[in-house]
Structure 1
Amino acid sequence: MVSEHRVNILKPGTVFRDWLLDVLGDRIHNKDCDVVVYKIKGASHNVCRYHFKGEGYSVVAKFYAEPTGWLRHYDAVESMEREFRTLKKIESIIDIPRPLAIKREFDCVLLTEYTHGKSLYSYMKAEKDLYSKLTAVAHLLRMLHDQTRSEYLKDLEFAHFHKVLDQLKLHPTRREMFNRLLGDWWYRRDWDSQQGCLIHNDENPVNYVFKHDKIYALDFESAWEHAHAVHDLGTVAAELKNHFEFIEKNRERSEQYIGHFIWNYSSDESEFHWITRALPFFIGLGLLRMARLDLGAEHRDYIFKEAEACLRAKQ
């Protein structure tokens, strides 16, 4: 999970520091202050927090041209610009760290305000107030989805699922099994959506942060439009399932938290039942996405077994 450590101090005259000052303008009163640099671990790119000493203010810089995760081959400029456009689009819909600037010349940097708070992952570990925090996540996603309605493109959802399977480099027998299961889901009509929406598409529980009774969503690098709304719900549910079922060894608590989360997203009982018909597909996807990480053999076996069980589920 995400942590940070101090790596540098930028003095006046440093080119990147001076660019930060230009972007921030009147937010920084002492233009000669030192800027302390903290490297944030656990991100898919080089990500740093820049703290303006004596100002009580920080920003976060994500350097798209400096990948650190499993994905190394992509268009850094296009990715930087796409996330910036997404953040500008949704900043009036939900609470997010405010997007400030992008700069191709500084390793394709995306600059946002820094939001410090307690993550959903922290609440999952402690289980204190978790029900209320899941309610907040459900309401945030509901607002995001409702305010970004668009055409639903089912083929994009399935192309995304197949891309995840491609990345896993599965044994041909296992891949063919998943292909057949996806084919069965393609022809089912009881979970189809009449509308698409913009989805967060990165439900890592560290990406939901609580501060002063507000919830902030972080990291919209993977967001895309024309998606099925239950995509986000299923990947949140997959995180809950993995944490409580595999790590905590308690399937009952996993089901209770997932049920609470889905109920608080749903507008009525009819929608709740429709969501539960689509949910296994997207829980399966969420689990398989985790398998791209460096997991132990037992954990990977659990992921594949449960993902298969979800995709075989009959409603």
Structure 2
Amino acid sequence: MKVEDGKVDRESELYNYLKDRVLRARQGELSPHLDRLDFRVYRLQASHHVFKVVEKKSGIAFLIKSYAGDRADDEVKCRRFQRELENVHIFERFGVDGAGHRIAVPFFVDPERFLIAYPFFEGKELGHYIKRAVLNGKGKTLKHKLSALADFLHFLHRHVVAEGIEISHIVRLFIAKVKSAERASLIDGNTARQAQYLIERWVELPILKDAHKCLIHGDATPSNFLFEGDHVAVIDLENITWGDRSYDLGMVAGELKHQCMMHSGNRFAAEGYIGHFYWEYSRRCNDPYKTFKVLTAKNPFYMAYTEFRIAGNEWLAWDHRKWLTFEGMECLKALHRDGWSS
């Protein structure tokens, strides 16, 4: 069964599946006389397998996440599917769905098709506010949303375990992204070797190891956060894990850099928003100024990883992908500029 954008044909397998399987889990919301339903499917921005589904006559909306379309074999799909369900339980166990924020909890699960249905929260993605800030001068609104996101992430990261950070996993991922960029001719061999050298030098720094593991989102991209007023609704829990909070924060910073540049052509357009986001997060901690200093010192490493990660998206413009790798290298070189290597 294929899930794709557009109006769902009433003769299709997907139509019958949505009508007879998924909506049956929410049958109390449908008027009994609605026998000819009108489903529309919209792929969420920057997502391969998360879709918003709207039944136009009733106005019912929900999200479906389908791993069936992945190129991986069924064993891998099953593992990712099960991990996401386990992560939902982690959020529920730790009471993360609180403090004014909302977590998407499945109302329908189909293990045979590796499909999960979530309630849809009204609101706009973070990317909507980034674009409006750049193109329509709505920077104050974007800062307001970044404050709300900082509040959610701080609330999430309060769940800490005693173990220290294991940095080798992110290093392997980072080096793999660099090699992928080289294979795609986004960088040359010399730049790839320099990047690997700088990554290894960063890893030697105490600031990357001096942290405790906490609960992190693991995929803090703009499409995974919806905003309604001061509240954040969080979707896509597949990558929830224990790790360094700077991984989440650096990903938000890297996404801000990427999207502001993409919409404005100004490589410095995101700087004020990144600083605001880090301060809003830090001021919620016990020692705001010390926290801000430590987190912003670590930011270039995780931001560089994020920029190389985004550069791997083939649907982006070639020149923009090359710029992302350039910015990633500039972040890695901050090791020397900021005096951390001495």
Q: TM-score, normalised by structure 1?
A: 0.86
Are 2:230 and 1:227 equivalent residues in the alignment? no
User: How far is the alpha carbon of 1:283 from its aligned partner?
Assistant: 0.7
**Aligned CA distance change for structure 1 residues 50 and 249 (closer, same or farther; 3 Å):** closer
- Aligned partners of 2:42 and 2:53 also within 8 Å: no
User: How far is the alpha carbon of 1:99 from its aligned partner?
Assistant: 1.8
Show structure 1 runs of 4+ deviating over 6 A: none
CA distance in 2, matches of 1:158, 1:34: 53
Are 2:304 and 1:289 equivalent residues in the alignment? no
Cα-to-partner distance string for 1:82-138 (whole Å, 9 max, x where unaligned)? 112212322531412222232122x21011111231121111111221111110111
Partner of 1:157: 170
Tell me which of 333, 336, 340 is aligned to 1:312: 333
Partner of 2:67: 64
Cα-to-partner distance string for 1:249-289 (whole Å, 9 max, x where unaligned)? 34454211110000011121001000011100011011111
Percentage identity across aligned positions?
A: 26
Structure 1 unmatched ranges of 5 or more: none
- Report the count of equivalent residues: 306
Structure 2 unmatched ranges of 5 or more: none
Partner of 1:102: 109
Cα-to-partner distance string for 1:42-80 (whole Å, 9 max, x where unaligned)? 45444443434554422222110113xxxx336111111
Cα-to-partner distance string for 1:141-181 (whole Å, 9 max, x where unaligned)? 11111135463222222223233334435454333222111
Q: In the alignment, residue 187 of structure 1 is paired with which amino acid?
A: E
CA distance in 2, matches of 1:177, 1:289: 17
- Aligned partners of 2:260 and 2:267 also within 8 Å: yes
**Aligned CA distance change for structure 1 residues 118 and 180 (closer, same or farther; 3 Å):** same
CA distance in 1, matches of 2:6, 2:191: 41
CA distance in 2, matches of 1:209, 1:220: 14
Tell me which of 272, 282, 288 is aligned to 1:256: 272
CA distance in 2, matches of 1:229, 1:183: 20
Are 2:207 and 1:205 equivalent residues in the alignment? no
**Aligned CA distance change for structure 1 residues 274 and 4 (closer, same or farther; 3 Å):** same
Q: Secondary structure at the match of 1:131?
A: helix
Partner of 1:20: 22
- Aligned partners of 2:52 and 2:61 also within 8 Å: yes
Q: In the alignment, residue 297 of structure 1 is paired with which amino acid?
A: W
Q: TM-score, normalised by structure 2?
A: 0.80
Are 2:260 and 1:244 equivalent residues in the alignment? yes
Q: Secondary structure at the match of 2:212?
A: coil
Measured on the aligned residues, the alpha-carbon RMSD in Å equals 2.7
User: How far is the alpha carbon of 1:140 from its aligned partner?
Assistant: 0.9
